[in-house]
Chain A
Amino acid sequence: MRRRALLVAALLLVGPAVRAQEQAASGDPQGVVGRPKGRALHGEALLARTEDVAGLLRCPVCQGLAVADSPATMAVNMKAQVREMLAAGYDQEQILAYFEHSYGEFVRLQPPLRGVNWLVWLGPVLALAAGGFFVTRALSARRTAAPAEPAPLPGPATLPDDPELARYVRRVRELAYGWPQGRAPGSEA
């Protein structure tokens, strides 16, 4: 009887250990990202961090959804693994790197700062700076330019120097006042 109780106790102790070992061998992150670098989380902090990190991972079977936001089985499983890794003390970068190892950079919803990705992060800032530069330059050019003197209106006896403008002024005066050749009658001095 006592022996049997001991056996049961031993099985209860060993059983979970064996299961844990099997799980560790399937999809064990340590071989990919090394030993946990962060602090092991539990309770409320663990749940909150799980949502944060799962929000940075793209669900591979969905269309542009984060693992945190998707009800797909794959996403649920990935989120469970994120939670387990956080509980084991892996930090955010290690977790993202683990999933990136098998899925590629695609799995990150935020492109990491490297290579051509710098363009994504710095492009808008550079474009804004360039736009600001051109706008300030255009504004200051307008401000420094001497206020244009309005061209003196031609008197009734004269016409502008610009031949094309003169042609229009003449035509308007002919139509409006009936002045022949656009000059006031009797104004010729």
Chain B
Amino acid sequence: MSTETARAFNPRVLLVGLGVVAPLVAVLVMNLGRDPHVIGSPLVGRAAPDFALQPMGGGAPVTLASLRGRPVVLNFWATWCVPCFEEHPVLVGAARRLGEKVRFVGVIYEDSEEGVKSFLARQGSSYPSLLDPGSRTAIAFGIFGVPETYFIDAEGRIAAKHVGPLDEQSLALKLAQAGVTP
């Protein structure tokens, strides 16, 4: 007798089961198209955090306010980071080409001054690299790792962020978002 009731269709059991399973499936389906490696930055669209950092090789501190008026490409990098090595020539070339329109600035992330100095002597440079003691500026910009690059428009607003090494295409795309036309 009891086996018969268990076998019978019970709409309440079905309803409770759906109530548990449906939200789980919905969450899974909604996130199917999401790339878990993409980390959005809450800073995009907001004013870039100000900084005052000593450039490599000495000189007056570079502040974000002093760079205003032209879009800024702010590249966080380190010599121990292999992808930074790959993007370095792209950035150096672009800085030479677009120097009139865009300010390129590197911020050194968790690296020694000596290491950076010898790296730049070997690989060449066309824009300043700033020292960031205690990673204060990296933290203010929400850096997760290197390389990460912020594209700041002429008004000091963060227009775009790029995580990972830049190539010519991605650089042109992000520059356009910051209002730089080639």
> Which residues on the B side are within 8 Å of A104 (C-beta)?
40-42, 142
Given contacts A61-B145, A102-B43, contact A23 B135 (CB under 8 A): no
> Which residues on the B side are within 8 Å of A80 (C-beta)?
134
Q: Which of B20-59 contact A (CB under 8 A)?
A: 39-43, 49-54
Given contacts A61-B145, A99-B139, A104-B40, contact A77 B50 (CB under 8 A): no
State the total of A-B contacts with C-beta under 8 angstroms. Answer: 70
Chain B interface: which size bin? 20 to 34
Contact yes or no, A81 B144, CB < 8 A: no
Q: Which of B140-155 contact A (CB under 8 A)?
A: 140-145
Interface flags, B110-129, vs A, CB<8A=1, else 0: 10000000000000000000
Q: Which of A10-39 contact B (CB under 8 A)?
A: 21-23, 25-28, 31-32
Contact yes or no, B142 A26, CB < 8 A: no
Asked if B79 lies at the interface with its beta carbon under 8 angstroms from chain A, I say no
A contacts with B: majority SS: helix
Contact of B42 among A26, A74, A101 (CB under 8 A): A101
Asked if B97 lies at the interface with its beta carbon under 8 angstroms from chain A, I say no
Contact yes or no, A61 B141, CB < 8 A: no
> Which residues on the A side are within 8 Å of B52 (C-beta)?
21-22, 25-26
